[in-house]
Amino acid sequence: MLKNSVYLTAIALLATACSGSNKFSPTAEMSGKEIFASACVECHSPVGESVMEISADMKDVDKVANQVLSGSLTMPSFPNIQGESARKLAEFVVENSKAK
Where do the domains of the chain lie, and which CATH numbers do they carry? 2-99 (1.10.760.10)
Strands (E), the chain: 52-54, 97-99
pTM: predicted TM-score of the whole model, two decimal places: 0.79
Rounded to an integer, what distance in angstroms lies between the CA atom of residue 11 and that of residue 17? 10
Average pLDDT over residues 31-36: 97
**Are the C-beta atoms of 50 and 99 separated by less than 8 Å?**
no
- The per-residue pLDDT for range 37-73, each reduced to its tens digit, is 999 998 888 888 888 999 999 999 999 999 999 999 8
| pLDDT value of residue 2 | 55
Cα end-to-end distance, the chain, whole Å: 32
Exposure on the CB side of residue 12, measured as CA atoms within 13 A = 6
Residue 100's pLDDT band (boundaries 50, 70, 90)?
confident
Which pLDDT value is given to residue 49?
Answer: 86
Beta bridge partners, 99, equal 54
The DSSP H or E segment spanning 1 is none
